[in-house]
Structure 1
Amino acid sequence: MTALDPQVAQLLNDLAAKPRAQPGDESIAAYRQAGESLVALAGPPNEHCEVDDIIIPVREGAVAARRYRPSGSTAQRLPGVMYTHGGGFVRGSLDSHDRLCRELCVQGGLIVVSIAYHLAPENQFPRAHNDALDTFAWLTEHAIELGIDADSLAVAGDSSGASLAVAVANARRTQGAPVKAQGLLCPALDATMGSDSIERYGEGPFLTRMALQWSYDLYVPNAGDRQSPLASPVLARSLEGSPPAVIISAQVDPVADDARRYGEKLTAAGVSVHSEEYPGMPHSFVLLAGVLDKGEHAIASFASGLAGLLR
């Protein structure tokens, strides 16, 4: 296996003192709580933004959301980003990604709206996708009251949340109402698990082949659905007209090649892509920026890249 960054190796050594159960070996509630327990590794929250919790109506009820606006901004409207968190469609929350969204807001000078879409196994495909699609539509309709420039609105997400972001970008493109940009962090974009990196890094750390399979089994149990470009954006026949992208990936990650394949497909379709793969980093390392220097660097690069595309 490729050598892990020394900071990652040290973190794994520290975490080894508190062994964690494998997905499927504990209740869904316990698995979700274990994910929330890692929030402290994200680093201290950036206080230079205003934060409001809101409720957004969708076709099957409503989703909770959190809006971030840079403190002291005098602009009537700012570029915006709808953020969909990762967690294999099974866990993750507004709180688990709060620090990341704060940094994206402050460093990018952006209004960020993070959404708590409905999770599996209680809600299966395409529920989370529909939540994301409906939320983005609502944001465009209510952009003025949210202080967002509706003509400069992007989608972004990490891991499984990146799949939701891409699904929104693709749907809006086919509807003739394109998204301005897309930002993807360690994206998991192939529910068929066809990337070679799954074989190279199937033992993790932080994401394993088994955990990925378990997550897809809970959210997309129908094998036929996994072949659809909605569940597996990297399998889309054409990406022509897609919005420009910023893609940040980790080298030691089962879904590393998802990022590479999608980036190459965008480039082949004539879409502008800025890609960075961080050597020695594991899946979702940006959520560990409090202890990983490269995580902090990646967040800054991501925020700057998205802001540049939106302005």
Structure 2
Amino acid sequence: MRNQTPTSSRSTPFRILIINPNTSTQMTESLKPIVQGLNYNDIQFDYFTAPNKHVTLPDGRVIEPVHSINSGEDSIQSAHHCRPFVEPLIPKYDAFLVACYSAHPLVGMLRSTIKALENKARHSDSGTLHVFVEEEINPGKAKKYVTGIFEASVTSSLMLISSFHLLADWSHHKAQSQDTWGIVTTGAVWKEELTKAVGFMINGPEESEEKRRKLLNAEHTSPTPSPAPPSVPRFAGVETTGLTAVELHKTPPEEVRRRIIDATEKILKGSSHPVRAVCLGCAGMAGMEEAVRAGCIKAYGETEGENVHIVDGVVAGVGLLVNSCKSRPVLKNSTEIANGANPQNSNALFFNRPVSGRLPQNISDLHLGGEADFYKERRHHLEVLGFHALPEDKKAPIGAVEFEGVRGPHGTIPIRLFYPRAIISKAKDDGEDKQVVVLVYMHGGGYTVGSVDEFENGLRLLAEAADVISDHRCRVPPRSRTSFPDPIRRILRMIDWAQGPEGQSRGINPNLVFGGGDSAGGNMTAALALRRQDQRLKNMAGQILLYPEARIPFDTPAATENNTGGSLYLVCNGIFSFADHYLPKSPREGAYPPSHRYVSPGMQKVEDLQANLPPVALFTCGWDPLRDVAVEYGSKLQEAGVQVNWHHYEHLTHGFLQFAPWSKERMDATMDVAKVLKKMAYS
């Protein structure tokens, strides 16, 4: 992690509920220092202990609390007992960990309830739900996750011991490692119970078990004991201490330690293949790794004994849930990186990776924000990227181009419309204009520079591939009237024009007017969506945001990693110069701080973003100073309930739309933008 405490992109931290399904508060208290020691400072952990009172289920059954779970039957009873207390908490938490080392049914109960609530939220007519939740959940915001410490430890153990090796016979055949794993647990009853649970979890239920279940459902006969599952080849088995979970904390520590050492030594020496992972098979054993390690050393000697992995189900479960929350679709997997992970001492996704798609020298020499003289820099861009300057084999075809002017708040706004060949063909075949889609696009250039000529080729590609009219606004020269909020007012007029009679006369469907932009243009598109919503104007059908400057990236890892020119194109420090041009300096023009809602959409709180904002297609690049602020804004929108479709290109730089003709990777990314736009427009 970074030296400073990372700031989350969420207004509130992820919340995880750790559930102790028995009534032992001592057991719950023993879990807290284990979880706190994991240093997930950006996660809020709460704890639930089963209440010491009976419950009456809807079918009339009275369920007593379980003080210590010492059998499979106890786990079933505790699940029924806890369910009415835990299910009402589902809307308040992102994830749930059932801290009982067994095949605990509460895991499945909570998953089923979450699924039912999500279905109910999506479909108004979902029938009667037999759950204990009154508050609804929003399935569009984010997924919720549930696991148990048993499931988490099995998953982690398999990950730790599994690997493929090449055989030493030069046949190039592969073989799986023969390393095994086992479980050290408490009472003797758990040996058979956990062995069966491992077999069913890895192998699935036997055919005979499924037939037996079907027979029971058909004949309503009394259940018969289920057969033992088939053996699991890489599972070394279960050994027990002979103590219950409660007795672990009441028995003298030296006696507990001796029993754990003996059980560990027995499981290691009893396996025909090396045991490389040992699970602590009880939540009450959390923190007892030292005794297990001593048993490993006693069985294998100091060197090999130290190499055995000790898997704490609580630690494994918390880790799995934290990672699931942070990586849930669409954006959470990058939120942590965008707001705190230090690439030099973590597995950050965006560090030490190559830049894809080598560009010709005259293209790679282009920098944005790297020259003190903006005119010189833009003249260089125009000489290389201007449509008139492109080689003929690089120019994208288009059906027709229309040059138009729109009357704006400060004079005429020049625009350029690109009509794809398919739309022109359909109009001729049908004898009339079709109701078609339009993308009102704001090109990048730091609010200050750039021209439509530099972006025409990219917009032609999008228009043809997406079957939409691309409506491209030209930017006015630097040091003209470009200060905020005038550009936003111009774009506001552009959307009105496209949605109004002028657009309809060209066959544009007013309900299919999309807004889009790259870099600073992406910022303005996002700001425009907020402003139209705030003013209760008809909003855009969607937002196409290409590596948007959601806010100034003065505090992100991406800004540090990419604070150079070289082959990275956008120079980070140049962003601050562009922002300086954009914000008005004269009090007569208005005082607008950088945090203003329409200046920095990415600085807004989640609660200030409404779920009815237009859906977003977000495109980001790994080699881009704006990467993290874009991901951060997308995460906030997603948390607010806005539909966000995120595409990340880890090995590309800022500005792939302009450089598409010279790079297959950049062309592929541009075609992805077109595919997403087409799907949003016509699905």
Q: Give the TM-score normalised by structure 1.
A: 0.90
- How many angstroms apart in 2 are the aligned matches of 1:70 and 1:191? 35
Q: Of 171, 178, 198, which residue of structure 1 is paired with 2:531?
A: 171
Give the drift of 1:61: 0.8
- How many angstroms apart in 2 are the aligned matches of 1:137 and 1:122? 24
Letter in 2 for 1:219: Y
Cα deviation digits, residues 89-109 of structure 1 (max 9, x gap): 121111111011111111111
How do residues 129-168 of structure 1 correspond to structure 2 at under 5 angstroms?
129-141=488-500, 142-168=502-528
**Greater C-alpha Rg:** 2
**Which residue number in structure 1 is paired with residue 577 of structure 2?**
214
- How many angstroms apart in 1 are the aligned matches of 2:666 and 2:642? 26
Cα deviation digits, residues 203-255 of structure 1 (max 9, x gap): 14211122111111111255952110211111223221111111111101000
Q: Of 589, 598, 609, which residue of structure 2 is paired with 1:239?
A: 609
Contact 1:58 1:131 in 2 (8 A): yes
- How many angstroms apart in 1 are the aligned matches of 2:413 and 2:679? 29
Q: Of 641, 646, 651, which residue of structure 2 is paired with 1:270?
A: 641
Q: Of 617, 625, 630, which residue of structure 2 is paired with 1:259?
A: 630
Cα deviation digits, residues 174-193 of structure 1 (max 9, x gap): 23312110001111110364
- How many angstroms apart in 2 are the aligned matches of 1:57 and 1:21? 31
Q: Of 587, 594, 613, which residue of structure 2 is paired with 1:226?
A: 594
- How many angstroms apart in 1 are the aligned matches of 2:497 and 2:366? 42
Contact 2:369 2:572 in 1 (8 A): no
- How many angstroms apart in 2 are the aligned matches of 1:250 and 1:92? 20
- How many angstroms apart in 1 are the aligned matches of 2:624 and 2:456? 23
- How many angstroms apart in 2 are the aligned matches of 1:80 and 1:17? 32
Q: Of 111, 128, 135, which residue of structure 1 is paired with 2:487?
A: 128
Letter in 2 for 1:201: N
How do residues 1-311 of structure 1 correspond to structure 2 at under 5 angstroms?
2-8=352-358, 11=359, 14-15=361-362, 23-26=370-373, 28-39=374-385, 40=390, 44-71=394-421, 72-74=425-427, 76-123=434-481, 124-141=483-500, 142-176=502-536, 177-191=538-552, 193-204=554-565, 205-220=568-583, 224-237=592-605, 238-240=608-610, 241-311=612-682
- How many angstroms apart in 2 are the aligned matches of 1:175 and 1:306? 26
Contact 1:4 1:280 in 2 (8 A): yes
Cα deviation digits, residues 46-94 of structure 1 (max 9, x gap): 2232110101111111111001111223252201110000011121111
- How many angstroms apart in 2 are the aligned matches of 1:153 and 1:21? 30
Letter in 1 for 2:609: L
Aligned pair in 2 of structure 1 residues 194, 130: CA closer, same or farther (>3 Å)? farther
- How many angstroms apart in 1 are the aligned matches of 2:364 and 2:426? 44
- How many angstroms apart in 2 are the aligned matches of 1:62 and 1:19? 31
Give the drift of 1:43: 7.1
Give the drift of 1:129: 1.7
- How many angstroms apart in 2 are the aligned matches of 1:19 and 1:310? 34
Worse-superposed segment, 119-128 or 296-305: 119-128
Aligned pair in 2 of structure 1 residues 60, 251: CA closer, same or farther (>3 Å)? same
Contact 1:163 1:187 in 2 (8 A): yes
Give the drift of 1:194: 4.1
**Structure 1 unmatched runs, 5+:** none
Worse-superposed segment, 153-162 or 172-181: 172-181
- How many angstroms apart in 2 are the aligned matches of 1:6 and 1:215? 27
Aligned pair in 2 of structure 1 residues 162, 43: CA closer, same or farther (>3 Å)? farther
Contact 1:249 1:277 in 2 (8 A): yes
Secondary structure at the aligned position of 1:171 is classed as helix
Q: What value does the CA root-mean-square deviation take over the aligned residues?
A: 2.4
Instruction: From the two aligned structures, give the one with the greater strand fraction.
Output: 1
Secondary structure at the aligned position of 2:580 is classed as helix
Secondary structure at the aligned position of 2:510 is classed as strand
Cα deviation digits, residues 249-305 of structure 1 (max 9, x gap): 110100001220111111101111111111221111221111221211111111111
Letter in 1 for 2:516: A
- How many angstroms apart in 2 are the aligned matches of 1:19 and 1:114? 23
Letter in 2 for 1:208: V
Worse-superposed segment, 130-139 or 15-24: 15-24
Give the drift of 1:25: 2.9
Secondary structure at the aligned position of 1:38 is classed as helix
Give the drift of 1:152: 0.7
- How many angstroms apart in 2 are the aligned matches of 1:106 and 1:19? 27
Give the drift of 1:16: 9.0
The total of aligned residue pairs comes to: 307
Contact 1:191 1:231 in 2 (8 A): no
Aligned pair in 2 of structure 1 residues 206, 221: CA closer, same or farther (>3 Å)? farther
- How many angstroms apart in 1 are the aligned matches of 2:569 and 2:400? 31
- How many angstroms apart in 2 are the aligned matches of 1:198 and 1:154? 30
Aligned pair in 2 of structure 1 residues 219, 277: CA closer, same or farther (>3 Å)? same
Contact 1:68 1:111 in 2 (8 A): yes
Aligned pair in 2 of structure 1 residues 41, 302: CA closer, same or farther (>3 Å)? farther
Instruction: Name the % identity.
Output: 21
Contact 1:43 1:288 in 2 (8 A): no
